[in-house]
A and B are shown apart, each in its own frame.
Chain A
């Protein structure tokens, strides 16, 4: 895993290109730690279409069902059966085995709207600071 190849959303999802226009999508470490133990994943079937920042699926933790948003527009190629069978993988290895879906992107230029790792780290630092001030 080369984290410098990952791009991040403000809602704490990531996408990592695997080939020209296919990327893996998942939740960040921050997202999984703030959700708590994940017990259930509801992910779209292959062939399903998603919009950038539109709803991709649902994740259930601590008796709460939350939305997962898509970092980019495209068509679902595959959802991670291993993570559906064992949702705790998302907590254990959010950037690796706990990925959620593979997505065929409609428009690579959309990724320009996302943050790289250093931008995301800075964004997180600001999030932490503002929540400490409250």
Chain B
């Protein structure tokens, strides 16, 4: 099975959201196949479906002054931070081809990230109680998903060289005791988004058994159907 990949660079949260909605509709009608968006967001705090505003620890005014937008969104999970240096993947795939198994899908996404980090010499694991990927009790990748009639949107956010100070503005995932980490912090060097993306796409292909086909980013959503 083929999975088309678009690397969109830095793109606003809402813009990426509407693009996903459009692609999900097209995926559901069978007009496009499986798709993976790779991108990063400008500084944005998002609140999931069951999230609580109290998990944002500073005022809206303070956030605005520091150029961080806040968006309520329809993914699973509580509050999270997105920003430059964080590798985001939004897979638009049909879980009817994968046993309609949401838990397995989350497990597979975690597996892609664990294998990717392993190639960089970072030993990571799952946490029984929190979806995501962890290194020594600190969260390196967050997961938040929306499944609409077995089509997927939203996805994962892996901290490559994210400004970790920004996570102190929130209780990540709604827990006050969760700390975030990144590849750059763990390896004590500047890790580039490009090098992680290449490795991640290879593992995505392996875990999901997809043949990845990279297309020019200006073609995304260009199909009219």
Contacts and interface: CB of A to CB of B under 8 A. Distances in A.
B148 A67 contact: yes
Looking at chain B's contact residues, is the secondary structure mostly helix, strand, loop, or mixed?
A: mixed
B103 A36 contact: yes
A49 interface: no
Interface in B58-92: 74-77
Contacts, number: 74
A39 B50 CA distance: 9
Contacts of B125: none
Contact of B147 (A12, A33, A65, A131): A65
B149 interface: yes
Contacts of B100: 11-12, 34
Interface in B130-144: 130-132, 142-144
A64 B106 contact: yes
B99 A61 contact: no
Given A42-B49, A58-B49, A67 B77 contact: no
A81 interface: no
A1 interface: no
Contact of B49 (A12, A40, A67, A134): A40
A64 B143 CA distance: 8
A77 interface: no
Interface of B: 48-50, 74-77, 98-106, 130-132, 142-149, 209
